[in-house]
Amino acid sequence: MFSYYVRLALASMKRTPVLSALMILALGLGIGAFMTTFTVYYLMSGDPIPHKSGVLYAVQLDNWDPNEPPTESAKDVQPQLTYRDGQNLMNADTPAKRQAQMYATNVVVVPEGDDPPFDESVRATYQTFFDMFDVPFLYGQPWTDLDDEGHASVAILGREMNDQLFNGENSVGRSIRLDDNYFEIVGVIDDWQPMPRFYHSDWSRAFADAEQIFIPFSRAVDGPMGPSGNTNCWKPMDDSLPAIEGFLQSECVWTQFWAELETPEQAAAYKDYLDNYVREQKEIGRFERPLNTFISNVPEWMEVMEVVRNDNRVLTRLSFLFFLVCVLNTVGLLMAKFLGKGGEVALRRAMGASRGAVFSQNLVEVGLIGLLGGLVGTVLAWLGLRAVENLYRGYQHLVQLDPVMLATAVCLATLAAIIAGLYPVWRVSQLPPAGLLKTQ
Amino acid sequence: MLKMSNISKVYRTELVETHALRELDLHVEEGEFVAVTGPSGSGKTTFLNIAGLLESPSSGVYELDGEDVSQRNDKHRSRVRNEKIGFIFQSFNLIPDLSLADNVDVPLRYRGWSGQKRRKVIGEMLDLVGLGSRKDYLPSQLSGGQQQRVAIARALAGKPRFLLADEPTGNLDSEMASVVMNLLESINDEGTTIVMVTHDPDLAHRASRNIHILDGRASDLGSTGPANVTPLPERGVARV
């Protein structure tokens, strides 16, 4: 009977094309608007590293201006560390399983052959970064501890960069020229795009591409390769030192710092360690504010950094309300459509259709309208996401309709239509056939 | 075949209580062709609706084929309607955007027959009414008389033993009406019981027995036609 009901539903929709189109469009618009905002929200609020997000912690130390308002939460503390503090922690024997200090810098990549040079963002970090964040390798492997200690000129490329410079071949052992220096390639990482890019604390670029070049932190500082991300200072640098050294020893914050802490006990011990470290620093005149150290795992860090901003949440809620309004409109349209079918329903009842059969037949029609509404909504959501992509740079990873979202859109529309249609379908199945047959 | 005993039907609204049928007794034997006449508002249509299980009586007993169906649930009544009763309406009631074959298919779909069996029956029925070559036509492409013949084919498709016709020629000219009546007579000759509501005395005379309904009560006018006439069994009961 299902295929018969589908055929009847198509015939019925053809009979009232305007009304059917209006319902499909109403559902499509609602779904389109909701799915556009929800897709952005869903990808923004997704867990970028679900299997480890609970054991990776961003570190915050409050060494800011003592005249600033008091700290109440992690949101009030600078999200980055000074070079000095990061180095002190990297060189200390802390309770953490792994730690990584890092920053972003810009270089000019000079390809072999005739291709023109181009600017590229580089992540300067430690070899621990790759194991800590489970970065998948296509060729080679991370550089070694010795490379970090030896300020080695080694690099790891992303797959895209390797495709661009070496046509996707195994480039391990070959060199890449960054500015005026050559770096030996020790590894090529496979596709890796944590979303959001949680390890970079600059929320405005949390949805940008992962870097395609990684080099040792120590080598980048030697460069010297200055930070390309936010650099915030509250205290003048020491004029008596050379400029670079003055910057490195300053209270300017510009490096990100992450620790892998496998158990709550380890996290507590690490927090104690940080508190003690700050107490020690206070003794030498630093950290003039009250003791405020924070460690935040990845989900907590997304909150601290407000990766999903409130306006996005509000927009998602509003679009859901709009979707509900569209569904309510569809209820009205369905009532008009189905009550207009009274004559045919009465005839079918006379021919032997039970109320249940009439209910099923019309529910299939409602489901079909929902399905088509979902498909229209998916197209509209795709257009909406393209609009978001054009309006906001750096959101390109947030505007992908993945299969889960596609299926969600279609299922949501179908389900909404069925829920919206339950009452009209029930009403039409309860119509007394006797009175309607005369007037058909 | 059809036995109504003390059937009453009352329609109630907040303001009015209307007695459409009052203790109506009626008996139709298998194979008869009964015409039901009566002025507008007399209760003919209500009788037909109850006879066709489209409405339930307020009181009384309705037996169809020996089974009391007056208070059965919707599913059971629907099955009985589908298997035992065929309907023919004054305004044909064909579904305009379905082909003739699909219109005839409507009752068969609820019978649960296989596609092959349904196609065979549809072909036979449309051949019977002389429209076998037009099975893919839409109703709008046919004349009124042809549409009524399709409606008859639909009514007969499920091989019902009991046909209810509500002014089957009311929307037809006299020539077409005669064609349709001839068809009904031949169906009756094949053994199908027919109860026909009509205003037309000429058509009523072609039935084997007439029942007159007035103010919700039936009275037997006896045999008007040439055959199948049985006398009244007792006073107040219309036996046709």
What is the block-wise mean pLDDT of chain B (240 residues), using blocks of 10 residues?
A: 87 84 88 88 87 88 86 87 88 87 92 89 88 90 88 86 86 78 85 88 86 84 51 35
Distance, in Å, from the CA atom of B138 to the CA atom of B96, rounded to the nearest integer, reads 7
CB contact under 8 A, B82 and A1: no
Smallest Cβ distance to A350: which of B87, B96, B111?
Answer: B87
For residue A290, cis peptide bond before it (omega within 30 degrees of 0): no
CATH level 2 (architecture), domain B30-56+73-226: 3-Layer(aba) Sandwich (3.40)
- Cβ(B48)–Cβ(B74) under 8 Å? no
| Same-domain status, A330 and A387 | yes
Report which of A200, A235, A197 is spatially closest to residue A84, judged by C-alpha positions: A235
Put simply, whether B120 touches A (Cβ < 8 Å) is: no
Q: By a Cβ cutoff of 8 Å, what residues of chain A touch chain B?
A: 1, 4, 11, 14-15, 343-344, 347-357, 432-434, 437-438, 440
The per-residue pLDDT for A271 is 96
Q: At what angle do helices A342-350 and A403-429 cross, to 10 degrees?
A: 70
Per-residue pLDDT band at A140 (split at 50, 70, 90): very high
Strands A98-110 and A253-260: antiparallel
Distance, in Å, from the CA atom of A303 to the CA atom of A203, rounded to the nearest integer, reads 11
- Cβ(B8)–Cβ(B43) under 8 Å? no
DSSP B96: T
Question: What residues of chain B lie within 8 A of the CB of A357, using their CB?
Answer: 78, 110
The minimum CA-CA distance between B230 and chain A, rounded to whole Å, is 30
- Cβ(B204)–Cβ(B35) under 8 Å? yes
| Same-domain status, A323 and A299 | no
CB contact under 8 A, A351 and B87: yes
The percent of residues in chain A predicted with pLDDT above 90, rounded, is: 46
Ranking A201-215, A290-304, A326-340, B37-51 by mean pLDDT, the lowest is A201-215
Smallest Cβ distance to B106: which of A343, A348, A355?
Answer: A348
The per-residue pLDDT for A266 is 95
DSSP B37: E
Q: At what angle do helices A355-391 and A310-339 cross, to 10 degrees?
A: 150
In a domain, residue A275? The reply is yes
The per-residue pLDDT for B65 is 85
DSSP B114: -
The per-residue pLDDT for A392 is 65
Smallest Cβ distance to B110: which of A357, A432, A433?
Answer: A357
**Residue pLDDT, tens place only, A28-72:** 999 888 888 888 787 777 788 888 989 999 999 999 999 988 888
Q: Please state the rounded mean pLDDT for residues A202-230.
A: 85
| Same-domain status, A334 and A266 | no
Put simply, whether B109 touches A (Cβ < 8 Å) is: yes
**Average per-residue pLDDT for chain A:** 88
Q: Which residue of chain A has the CA closest to B82?
A: A352
Distance, in Å, from the CA atom of A322 to the CA atom of B56, rounded to the nearest integer, reads 45
CB contact under 8 A, A355 and B74: yes
Distance, in Å, from the CA atom of A344 to the CA atom of A342, rounded to the nearest integer, reads 6
The per-residue pLDDT for A47 is 81
Q: Please state the rounded mean pLDDT for residues A101-129.
A: 93
| Same-domain status, A28 and A88 | no
Residue pointed to by tokens 């198509």? A10
Residue A384 has pLDDT above 80, yes or no: yes
CB contact under 8 A, B54 and A353: no
In a domain, residue A51? The reply is no
Question: What residues of chain A lie within 8 A of the CB of B107, using their CB?
Answer: 351-352
**Residue pLDDT, tens place only, B130-172:** 888 898 999 999 988 888 889 888 988 888 888 898 888 877 7
Vertex A119, ends A115 and A123: CA angle to 5°? 125
Q: Amino acid identity, residue A374?
A: G
DSSP B56: -
Q: ipTM of the assembly?
A: 0.85
| Same-domain status, A297 and A350 | no
Per-residue pLDDT band at A287 (split at 50, 70, 90): very high
The per-residue pLDDT for A178 is 93
Q: Amino acid identity, residue A136?
A: P
The minimum CA-CA distance between A366 and chain B, rounded to whole Å, is 19
Question: What residues of chain B lie within 8 A of the CB of A349, using their CB?
Answer: 54, 78, 81
Residue A260 has pLDDT above 60, yes or no: yes
Put simply, whether B78 touches A (Cβ < 8 Å) is: yes
Residue A186 has pLDDT above 60, yes or no: yes
The minimum CA-CA distance between B206 and chain A, rounded to whole Å, is 24
Per the structure, the complete domain to which residue A140 belongs is given by 56-304
Question: What residues of chain B lie within 8 A of the CB of A343, using their CB?
Answer: 93
The minimum CA-CA distance between A163 and chain B, rounded to whole Å, is 59
Residue spans of beta strands (DSSP E) within B29-147? 33-37, 59-64, 67-68, 85-88
In the listed set A259, A284, A304, which residue is the last one of a domain according to the structure? A304
For residue A224, cis peptide bond before it (omega within 30 degrees of 0): yes
Smallest Cβ distance to B110: which of A14, A344, A351?
Answer: A351
CB contact under 8 A, B110 and A352: yes
Smallest Cβ distance to A434: which of B54, B98, B106?
Answer: B54
User: What are the residue boundaries of the structural domains of chain B, listed by start?
Assistant: 30-56+73-226
Q: Which residue of chain B has the CA closest to A347?
A: B93
Smallest Cβ distance to B110: which of A353, A355, A440?
Answer: A353
- Cβ(B25)–Cβ(B199) under 8 Å? no
Expressed in angstroms, the distance from the first to the final Cα of chain B is: 11
Put simply, whether B52 touches A (Cβ < 8 Å) is: yes
Please provide the size of chain B in residues: 240
DSSP-assigned beta bridge partners for residue B70: none
Report which of A97, A83, A85, A90 is spatially closest to residue A55, judged by C-alpha positions: A97
In the listed set A241, A269, A304, which residue is the last one of a domain according to the structure? A304
Greatest Cα pair distance in chain B: 54
| Same-domain status, A198 and A284 | yes
In a domain, residue A50? The reply is no
Which of A5, A351, A426 to mutate to test binding with chain B, by most B CBs within 10 Å of its CB? A351
CB contact under 8 A, A353 and B87: no
Q: How many structural domains does chain A have? A: 2
The per-residue pLDDT for A399 is 66
Distance, in Å, from the CA atom of A282 to the CA atom of A297, rounded to the nearest integer, reads 26
Ranking A94-108, A127-141, A215-229, A397-411 by mean pLDDT, the lowest is A397-411
Put simply, whether B111 touches A (Cβ < 8 Å) is: yes
- Cβ(B130)–Cβ(B152) under 8 Å? no
Question: What residues of chain A lie within 8 A of the CB of B49, using their CB?
Answer: 434
CB contact under 8 A, A433 and B54: yes
Write the CB contacts of A138 (distance below 8 Å, at least 6 apart in sequence): A159, A162, A188, A189, A190
Question: What residues of chain A lie within 8 A of the CB of B99, using their CB?
Answer: none
Vertex A188, ends A187 and A190: CA angle to 5°? 140
In a domain, residue A381? The reply is yes
**Average per-residue pLDDT for chain B:** 83
The per-residue pLDDT for A395 is 63
- Report pTM: 0.67
In the listed set A278, A304, A330, which residue is the last one of a domain according to the structure? A304
Q: Please state the rounded mean pLDDT for residues A72-81.
A: 91
Greater pLDDT, A313 or A384:
A384
Q: Which two tokens stand for residue A407?
A: 């299926």
| Same-domain status, A41 and A129 | no
CB contact under 8 A, A437 and B93: yes
The per-residue pLDDT for A438 is 59
| Same-domain status, A235 and A99 | yes
Q: Which residue of chain B has the CA closest to A343?
A: B93
Size of interface A-B (CB pairs under 8 A): 70
**Residue pLDDT, tens place only, A145-170:** 999 999 999 999 999 999 999 999 99
Q: Amino acid identity, residue B165?
A: A
The per-residue pLDDT for A393 is 60
Report which of B212, B220, B158, B164 is spatially closest to residue B188, judged by C-alpha positions: B164
| Same-domain status, A140 and A65 | yes
Smallest Cβ distance to A11: which of B83, B90, B98?
Answer: B98
Distance, in Å, from the CA atom of A256 to the CA atom of A230, rounded to the nearest integer, reads 11
Give the 3-state DSSP-derived string for chain A, with helices as H, strands as E and coil as C. CHHHHHHHHHHHHHHCHHHHHHHHHHHHHHHHHHHHHHHHHHHHCCCCCCCCCCCEEEEEECCCCCCCCCCCCHHHCCCCEEHHHHHHHHHCCCCCCEEEEEEEEEEEEECCCCCCCEEEEEEEECCHHHHHCCCCEEEECCCCHHHHHCCCCEEEEEHHHHHHHHCCCCCCCCEEEECCEEEEEEEEECCCCCCCCCCCCCHHHCCCCCCCEEEEHHHHHHCCCCECCCCECCCCCCCCCCHHHHHHCCCCEEEEEEEECCCHHHHHHHHHHHHHHHHHHHHCCCCCCCCCEEEEEHHHHHHHCCCCCHHHHHHHHHHHHHHHHHHHHHHHHHHHHHHCCHHHHHHHHHCCCCHHHHHHHHHHHHHHHHHHHHHHHHHHHHHHHHHHHHHCCCCHHHCCCCHHHHHHHHHHHHHHHHHHHHHHHHHHHCCCHHHHHHHC
In a domain, residue A249? The reply is yes
Strands A181-189 and A154-158: parallel
Distance, in Å, from the CA atom of B153 to the CA atom of B100, rounded to the nearest integer, reads 10
Question: What residues of chain B lie within 8 A of the CB of A438, using their CB?
Answer: 45, 89-91, 166
